[in-house]
Amino acid sequence: MNACLFPDGEVSLSPTDTTTEVFQPITDWCSSLEALSLVTVFLWIKRKTGNFQCRLGIESCQSEHGTVNQTSLAADSAQMSTLGVSSGKFYRFDPNGASDGNIDAGTKFRLGILYSSSTAVTGQGVVRWEGMAWR
């Protein structure tokens, strides 16, 4: 099975609600029928203010215009809130399992960043991803 590699990137995020997680897509919708068995990506906070925090998330759906399913990696629910590459997180998981995104729940999926503020004090962050690939 061939690997699919994605360009590195970054996005500036600003939670408007304090502690509610918001999903920001970083890939387009992809077919979950591609029999994926492994996703890898390194995620880190490049700049931040306030109580900004984030983690990797997955959305799935039956149709790009339909209802979107849960947006979390239950097996890895810890938020990152510390600046710098050394505080980043390397994700390596099988997206088919119920605790790791469960892309089987829909015909399409996409990766993104779940972000929020850890308290009632809002903040901002620039999140960078590198080495994103799946097979």
- The predicted-structure confidence for 60-109, as pLDDT tens digits, reads as follows 888 777 778 766 665 566 778 888 888 888 888 777 766 666 677 678 88
Rounded average pLDDT over 117-135: 85
Among 20-29, 33-42, 55-64, 125-134, the minimum mean pLDDT is found in 33-42
**What is the CATH architecture of 4-134?**
Sandwich (2.60)
Name the pLDDT band for 3 (thresholds 50, 70, 90). low
Angle value at C-alpha 62, between 58 and 63, nearest 5 degrees:
100
> Cα–Cα distance between 84 and 111 in angstroms, integer?
22
Q: How far apart are the first and last CA of the chain?
A: 6
The one-letter code for the residue type at 89 is: K
- Note the pTM of the prediction, 2 decimals: 0.83
Phi, psi of 115 (to 5 degrees): -135, 155
Tokens of 71: 């947006």
